[in-house]
Amino acid sequence: MLNLDLMFYPKSIALVGASSDKKKLGSIVLKNIIDSGFRGEIFPLNLTATTISGLKTYKDYADLPSIPDLALIAIPAKFVLEVLEKIIQKGTKNVVIFSAGFKEAGSEGLALEQKLLEIIKKNSIDASTKINVLGPNCLGFVNNLYPVNVTFGQPVNKKGNLRFISQSGAIASSVFDWAEYNEIGFSEFITLGNKTDLNENNILKYCYDNDITSQTQEKGTSGLVPIGMYLESIIDGKEFINISKKISAKNPLFLLKPGKSNESKKAMQSHTGSIAGEDYVLDVALKKAGIIRCDGIEDFFDLAKVFAWEKIPKGRNIAIVSNAGGPAVLSSDFVASEGLQLVRFDEETRNELEMYLPRAASIFNPVDVLGDALAERYESAIKTLIIDDDVHSLMIILTPQVMTQIEKTAEMIGRLSFEYGKPIICSFIGGSHIAKGEKVLNKFKIPSFRYPERAVKAIAKMSQWGEYRDTLNINSENQNLEVDSGFSEVLLQQNTTDRKNMDSFEVNQILKTHGINTSPTAKCVNIDAAKLFVQENNFPVVLKISSPQMLHKSDEGGVIVGIDSVEKLEEAFGSLQKIILNMDKSGLNTIQIQKQVAKGLELIIGSKKDMVFGNILMFGAGGVLANLIEDRNLGLIPLSKTEIITLIKNSKVNKLIEGYRGEKGYDSEKIVDLILKFQNMIASNPKISEADINPVILNDDGIWAVDGKMILI
Amino acid sequence: MLNLDLMFYPKSIALVGASSDKKKLGSIVLKNIIDSGFRGEIFPLNLTATTISGLKTYKDYADLPSIPDLALIAIPAKFVLEVLEKIIQKGTKNVVIFSAGFKEAGSEGLALEQKLLEIIKKNSIDASTKINVLGPNCLGFVNNLYPVNVTFGQPVNKKGNLRFISQSGAIASSVFDWAEYNEIGFSEFITLGNKTDLNENNILKYCYDNDITSQTQEKGTSGLVPIGMYLESIIDGKEFINISKKISAKNPLFLLKPGKSNESKKAMQSHTGSIAGEDYVLDVALKKAGIIRCDGIEDFFDLAKVFAWEKIPKGRNIAIVSNAGGPAVLSSDFVASEGLQLVRFDEETRNELEMYLPRAASIFNPVDVLGDALAERYESAIKTLIIDDDVHSLMIILTPQVMTQIEKTAEMIGRLSFEYGKPIICSFIGGSHIAKGEKVLNKFKIPSFRYPERAVKAIAKMSQWGEYRDTLNINSENQNLEVDSGFSEVLLQQNTTDRKNMDSFEVNQILKTHGINTSPTAKCVNIDAAKLFVQENNFPVVLKISSPQMLHKSDEGGVIVGIDSVEKLEEAFGSLQKIILNMDKSGLNTIQIQKQVAKGLELIIGSKKDMVFGNILMFGAGGVLANLIEDRNLGLIPLSKTEIITLIKNSKVNKLIEGYRGEKGYDSEKIVDLILKFQNMIASNPKISEADINPVILNDDGIWAVDGKMILI
């Protein structure tokens, strides 16, 4: 287990590359350390100067009078390794490398970074000798709780309850600038850079182990310690989920991560050299870990503000108070599309609103206090709603009309928020005038957004996180899988000396090994073998080409169904033989016969190994429907039985399973059972890279794996 | 035809309710008129004062020394009608009523508004006597080209190329405040209020007739006169589409309209009393009219800025230049999801970028000029791309890093934009620091957004409008429909004395009348009639209950298919008779027999009358698929043949029509023909409110309307 306490709470810091040239990195970092109010010792290292900023400098790390807890490296990349060795020799264990010019800068840089990693590994033999390196190519970190600021960038010394982890230094610069403007404070702000050694999981673990709640709660804040993350890659998906789950059970985690499109994946490779997993898998994983994903930078900033300042709503019921009908109505659209609910006020609430508001006002939700509303009228409405238990959050819309008391209204909202503590989010819509109201709201730590849709979206994501948290706290279902004996592992090994694709006959055998129902089948060397099969199993049968080369048999004419006579059997056999003659002569292409399964509901069950998060399970409509209705429902293996049932329930094909428009339904228990067996097969055979059964046919006789494919690593 | 010239370019204005009390409406309006630089005569009317703001006042409208071109009413609602009569008597034809307290304020107000409308109508006998009334319950208008500002609100006297039409005064207040902050100017800004007389179509017509392009183009602007609209209802959908099409062929029209959700529809009713049509129909109509729909207030503001300031990109190719990898990569995600393309630079462009940029920079799109880029390095990259013909628009991302020259870079971008005129949109990401750069960009009329996703979205919507414009200019296909003789009109009349639902037998007859292929059918009073039908038409047949009460026959067991023997026929007939016995004794419920159509592709074709836009056609997958794949493809009747072909091509079921995964396809010409006949039937029978044929079966024999339903107005 890592101990990063001396990294983030150092008693002494050495800065290699300290400088008095104000444009240089080593000068900016030094200034930030001093300005942050750091109370420990600072050792600047510089080859020529004797003092910098009034501090005695040193030429060589070996000459330092004591062992610094933390060393900062702010010199060109080519000198970094040599200095690092000296730092380690001296006994310093925590290092931040600001220098760029490593793997992000092409092949030479990559080689340098590999050497850097070797040095770290070589010297980290056990927990007691472990060297912790942040970066290279990072912006450093800030710990306002201590305080210490070892960044090169704008100072961000305002203390607050937000934690930030950013892989990118540039995003960090923008967040700093945004935070200053919005009067937002941080506890820690840590940039990761190239993540040669320390990565997001180490930092998350550090955050989890260090509960800073009691140190960070000012009046008006959320009572939480939210963590915002900007990541371009995730190093170890399983570890990431594990640690995130623990954090999410108590504090919000929200993530901005590019990579939805192929374009961005390409751009990311040239930018950080990191290879990302599939993006759709990420969404499944984040949900499991209770992490809110941001849709863009705006979302990221918005969530930072609301999670820092507002309590999590108890539910999805929202009440809107507005001095303008138009924006209130628009907001109602977003309330619906974001999955929130406009509370229906009970009679008591309506009566009270009626008492205080003019006749033309709307006492239904959204409440329209009318264009001439002064702060007092707003107050009557808000006071009524803030004590209504059905109202889980309040959104206050203000447009700057002639009579509107912008600052006075903001002040009043602030007071009520302090007094009652119910989540309130504002949308003061406009520009120059409403900015004055925003300033007042900031003072009371009430988030305000210039567009009501942003406010609604922020509330929706808060509520979503609230639900994640509750699920994580309730759901302690044991998810340990019983792993099969290695029988099909053996089978796989026998067959995979030189190829990755299983043929359909082999897949059939492997499925059977794991208890999955398949239809009787055999390989036929000739037509007589096929006839013999029919004698034992009767018509109708299916003939298909079993070949590791042919993954899409149906599309290539390699499957003939509905064979119900000897004549048809002979004809079908002949036509498949012709296709095989045109294929290569590997001898791997044979004809497979199979008892035809009676019609039923066609499903697909598959899996794919994701490089970051491991095996992903897919379930949905099979056969012709599969592509038409795009019914892809994903989960991370292993899924609990409850999760499998939910997966089925949320699929489009579930309508057919439950019985569609008066037609009879199907037994979903059988599907659950098949998925459990299938994921067991995947989990116990790490060599399977991709597998699917398509179609699975569910009929009155049972559930049948009719055809499948499998690709090994 | 209306003439609104004297409304918007009055030589003299009377203000009823002028006041010297600064808090009163009549004082604010007067101040705005004077401050706007209006050079004509002003007649304030007030019952007590002799002068206001140095102007002589009058007690009675009749006493005015001349006939004002424009009268403004700023007195309580209950006095409005009386004053209006006097205004009309005097000879003034253009009136703005600011006063609230009409239909938005309950039943008394509604009665008042109806009387108001009567007065207007009574006095508007022909074009020469027509009274034009804006409002009531409106904020007035601004015409900065003249200039004149008759609003009560913040002054917005900055001249520019934007036109605004807003139904809501509150939204207008927010736009004013936003515009001031963003240094945006307007030509006209017109608020509609309750639209008792003048509505959006009148104002759009006025805008179309008054080409103000030459008066409004400052250096750096788009060369266009965009019109932004905030509407809560649309009065006459067909007229709205007609006039919008004409405008969109030259200038961008963009619309913000609530009403996507049921919640907002309810809220809107209590807010404006207007009843809106179906929202999904609006999207179809807007596309036809070339209008860009805004997704929210943010979108509305963003589009106002880009349409005012930037030229329309020639196509969807975008190039991104950034000093930060992270936001560039994130933007790539949005480029993909918004339907834009990251240009692939050719060798020449890449070589040039390579020459000017450091080795670690990315010379692929997005171009990363690196975190230490000064203005000069940005300039080299932008200059290379701005002359590349493959680049249709440029997006410049800036994060405020330590070395970044925020204002100098903005200045440089401004100069290049002036010089080359190619669309450039910026995203300076941050807060306090980057705000200084935004100020510089505003000077050059370059839109900048704090979040790159907003910039991408704005460019995408500009490109979309460019495509609408091009389509409108090319597409002059004649859409005149040949209307049938009224035969089925007669049929409808005969059958609809007291009911609205046609039974399936009647629908069958009506479809046949319009040349639509149906299967042979008959009503059977008894089993013998059914047997006789079979003798003539052979098995298999379908029996169904033909009843105006039973619109979902299949769900209620009212259809029995696959009858292929006399025994089955008898059994089926008996079971339907049982159902009928339990229905009411109206005698309208009978058993219908129909020759069963062979299996094929099942489709649905339907229509529904929208209260705003008229008849809407719907096409998609029919039968069981219908609800599963949610394949609803809509068009406004009449559709041209080209539009019908596109509708089919864009449907989900088109995969099956074209032949899915090796299966044979179907003849789509037959579908086009059927849709033409169907829409002809709808267009020539105005009494049809809803109709659908489901399923339509397309097989080797032809295309068949198998079952249908029809509801009359």
Distance from CA of A655 to the nearest CA of B (A): 8
- Taking contacts as CB-CB distances below 8 angstroms, the residues of chain A near B402 are 25, 28, 152-153, 173
Inter-chain touch B326–A258, beta carbons under 8 Å = yes
Q: Which position has the higher pLDDT, A404 or B664?
A: A404
The CATH 3.40.50.261 domain(s) of chain A lie at 158-181+194-309, 312-474
Cα–chain center distance at A314: 23
- Taking contacts as CB-CB distances below 8 angstroms, the residues of chain B near A371 are 100, 169-170
pLDDT recorded at residue B274: 45
DSSP characters for B185-206? -EEEEEE-TT-SS--HHHHHHH
- Single pTM value for the model: 0.89
| CATH fourth-level superfamily of B158-309 | Succinyl-CoA synthetase domains (3.40.50.261)
At residue B712 the predicted structure's pLDDT band, cuts being 50, 70 and 90, is: confident
- Taking contacts as CB-CB distances below 8 angstroms, the residues of chain A near B340 are none
pLDDT recorded at residue B555: 67
Nearest chain A residue to B372, by CA = A170
Distance from CA of A484 to the nearest CA of B (A): 37
At residue A478 the predicted structure's pLDDT band, cuts being 50, 70 and 90, is: very low
pLDDT recorded at residue B155: 76
pLDDT recorded at residue A582: 81
In CATH terms, A312-474 corresponds, of 3.40.50.261, 3.50.50.60, 3.40.50.300, 3.30.720.110, to 3.40.50.261
At residue B478 the predicted structure's pLDDT band, cuts being 50, 70 and 90, is: very low
The count of CB pairs under 8 A between chains A and B is: 314
The partner residue sitting opposite B232, judged by closest CB among A154, A326, A656, is A326
Nearest chain A residue to B268, by CA = A329
pLDDT recorded at residue B498: 66
Inter-chain touch A177–B434, beta carbons under 8 Å = yes
Inter-chain touch B327–A177, beta carbons under 8 Å = no
Would you say residue B676 has pLDDT above 80?
A: yes
Do residues B365 and B339 touch, judged by C-beta distance below 8 A? no
Give pairs for B570-578: CB < 8 Å, separation 24+: B570/B527, B572/B543, B573/B524, B573/B527, B573/B530, B573/B543, B576/B543, B576/B544, B576/B545
Give residue-wise pLDDT tens across range A387-397: 999 999 999 99
Question: A258 phi and psi, to 5 degrees?
Answer: -70, 170
User: Which contiguous run of DSSP H or E holds residue B490?
Assistant: helix B487-495
Inter-chain touch A326–B171, beta carbons under 8 Å = yes
Q: Which of the residues B29, B103, B174 would you substitute to probe the A interface, choosing the one with the greatest number of A C-beta atoms within 10 Å?
A: B174
Give residue-wise pLDDT tens across range B222-245: 999 999 999 999 999 999 999 999
- Taking contacts as CB-CB distances below 8 angstroms, the residues of chain B near A629 are 628-629
Nearest chain B residue to A432, by CA = B181
Do residues A235 and A200 touch, judged by C-beta distance below 8 A? yes
What mean pLDDT comes out for the span A652-658?
A: 89
Inter-chain touch A297–B330, beta carbons under 8 Å = yes
Nearest chain A residue to B233, by CA = A326
pLDDT recorded at residue A274: 46
B119 contacts: CB under 8 Å, gap ≥ 6: B81, B84, B85, B88
A639 contacts: CB under 8 Å, gap ≥ 6: A479, A617, A647, A675, A679
pLDDT recorded at residue B491: 59
Inter-chain touch B263–A399, beta carbons under 8 Å = no
Nearest chain B residue to A651, by CA = B628
Nearest chain A residue to B558, by CA = A662
Do residues B253 and B291 touch, judged by C-beta distance below 8 A? yes
Do residues B170 and B176 touch, judged by C-beta distance below 8 A? no
In CATH terms, A158-181+194-309 corresponds, of 3.40.50.1440, 3.30.870.10, 3.40.50.261, 1.10.4160.10, to 3.40.50.261
The partner residue sitting opposite A181, judged by closest CB among B167, B170, B431, is B431
In CATH terms, B313-474 corresponds, of 3.30.70.260, 1.20.1070.10, 3.40.50.261, 3.40.50.920, to 3.40.50.261
pLDDT recorded at residue B627: 65
At residue A342 the predicted structure's pLDDT band, cuts being 50, 70 and 90, is: very high
Inter-chain touch A260–B336, beta carbons under 8 Å = yes
First to last CA, chain B: 32
Inter-chain touch A452–B178, beta carbons under 8 Å = no
Please report the ipTM that was assigned to this predicted complex: 0.88
Inter-chain touch B326–A170, beta carbons under 8 Å = yes
- Taking contacts as CB-CB distances below 8 angstroms, the residues of chain B near A270 are 362, 364, 368
Q: A294, A293, A306, A298: which is closest to A426 by C-alpha? A: A306
Give residue-wise pLDDT tens across range B345-380: 999 999 999 999 998 899 999 999 999 999 999 999
pLDDT recorded at residue B619: 94
Distance from CA of B374 to the nearest CA of A (A): 13
Give pairs for A112-115: CB < 8 Å, separation 24+: A112/A77, A112/A78, A112/A80, A112/A81, A113/A194, A113/A196, A115/A81
Would you say residue A556 has pLDDT above 80?
A: no
Would you say residue A437 has pLDDT above 50?
A: yes
The partner residue sitting opposite B28, judged by closest CB among A326, A362, A402, is A402
Would you say residue A220 has pLDDT above 50?
A: yes
Distance from CA of A329 to the nearest CA of B (A): 5
The CATH 3.40.50.261 domain(s) of chain B lie at 158-309, 313-474
Would you say residue A525 has pLDDT above 90?
A: no
Q: Over chain B, what is the mean pLDDT?
A: 90
Would you say residue A272 has pLDDT above 50?
A: no
The partner residue sitting opposite A327, judged by closest CB among B171, B182, B554, is B171
Do residues B194 and B102 touch, judged by C-beta distance below 8 A? yes
Inter-chain touch A326–B167, beta carbons under 8 Å = yes
Inter-chain touch B433–A154, beta carbons under 8 Å = yes
Q: Which of the residues B166, B329, B579, B660 would you substitute to probe the A interface, choosing the one with the greatest number of A C-beta atoms within 10 Å?
A: B329
At residue B273 the predicted structure's pLDDT band, cuts being 50, 70 and 90, is: very low
- Taking contacts as CB-CB distances below 8 angstroms, the residues of chain A near B558 are none
The partner residue sitting opposite A434, judged by closest CB among B177, B661, B662, is B177
Q: Which of the residues B330, B350, B405, B656 would you substitute to probe the A interface, choosing the one with the greatest number of A C-beta atoms within 10 Å?
A: B330
pLDDT recorded at residue B474: 77
Nearest chain A residue to B102, by CA = A360
What mean pLDDT comes out for the span A104-126?
A: 93
Inter-chain touch B170–A452, beta carbons under 8 Å = no
Cα separation, A54 vs B351, whole angstroms: 48
- Taking contacts as CB-CB distances below 8 angstroms, the residues of chain A near B327 are 170-171, 174, 297
Give residue-wise pLDDT tens across range A47-77: 999 999 999 999 999 999 999 999 999 999 9
Cα separation, A335 vs A88, whole angstroms: 56
Inter-chain touch A232–B326, beta carbons under 8 Å = yes
What mean pLDDT comes out for the span A576-595?
A: 82
Which CATH code for domain A601-712?
3.30.470.20
Would you say residue A497 has pLDDT above 60?
A: no
What mean pLDDT comes out for the span B522-543?
A: 91
Inter-chain touch A451–B298, beta carbons under 8 Å = yes
Inter-chain touch B399–A171, beta carbons under 8 Å = yes
Lowest-confidence segment of A273-277, A555-559, B606-610 by average pLDDT: A273-277
- Taking contacts as CB-CB distances below 8 angstroms, the residues of chain B near A432 are 177, 180-181
At residue A273 the predicted structure's pLDDT band, cuts being 50, 70 and 90, is: very low
Nearest chain B residue to A152, by CA = B402
Distance from CA of B427 to the nearest CA of A (A): 11
What mean pLDDT comes out for the span A438-445?
A: 96
The partner residue sitting opposite B170, judged by closest CB among A154, A168, A324, is A324
Q: Say what percent of chain A tops pLDDT 90.
A: 68
* A37 Rama sector, left if φ>0, alpha if ψ -120 to 50, beta otherwise: left
Cβ neighbours of B329 (radius 10 Å): 29
Q: Show the DSSP H helices in B36-156 as ranges.
A: 80-90, 107-123
Would you say residue A494 has pLDDT above 60?
A: no
What class is the A1-143 domain? alpha beta
Nearest chain A residue to B365, by CA = A267
At residue A313 the predicted structure's pLDDT band, cuts being 50, 70 and 90, is: very high
What mean pLDDT comes out for the span A6-13?
A: 97
Nearest chain B residue to A137, by CA = B371
**Directed axis angle between helix A432-443 and helix B169-182, to 10°?**
90
Give Dmax over CA atoms of chain B in angstroms: 100
Q: Which position has the higher pLDDT, B479 or A176?
A: A176
Nearest chain A residue to B429, by CA = A174
Q: Look at the block and give the residue holding tokens 């699929």.
A: A651
Q: Say what percent of chain B tops pLDDT 70.
A: 91
Distances (CA, A) of B472 to A314, A556, B145, B475: 51, 44, 29, 5
Give residue-wise pLDDT tens across range B138-166: 999 999 999 999 998 877 788 999 999 99
Distance from CA of B216 to the nearest CA of A (A): 24
Distance from CA of A324 to the nearest CA of B (A): 5
The CATH 3.30.470.20 domain(s) of chain A lie at 601-712
Lowest-confidence segment of A542-546, B120-124, B415-419, B503-507 by average pLDDT: B503-507
Cα separation, A621 vs A629, whole angstroms: 8
Inter-chain touch A430–B627, beta carbons under 8 Å = no
Strand, helix or coil at B118?
helix
Question: A525 phi and psi, to 5 degrees?
Answer: -75, -30
Q: Which fold has domain B1-137?
A: Rossmann fold (3.40.50)
Beta A601-610 vs A614-621: how paired, if at all? antiparallel
Inter-chain touch A399–B328, beta carbons under 8 Å = no
pLDDT recorded at residue B359: 85
Would you say residue B263 has pLDDT above 80?
A: no
What mean pLDDT comes out for the span B425-449?
A: 96
pLDDT recorded at residue B433: 93
Distance from CA of B357 to the nearest CA of A (A): 13
Cα separation, A302 vs A322, whole angstroms: 21
Q: Say what percent of chain B tops pLDDT 90.
A: 68
Distance from CA of B657 to the nearest CA of A (A): 12
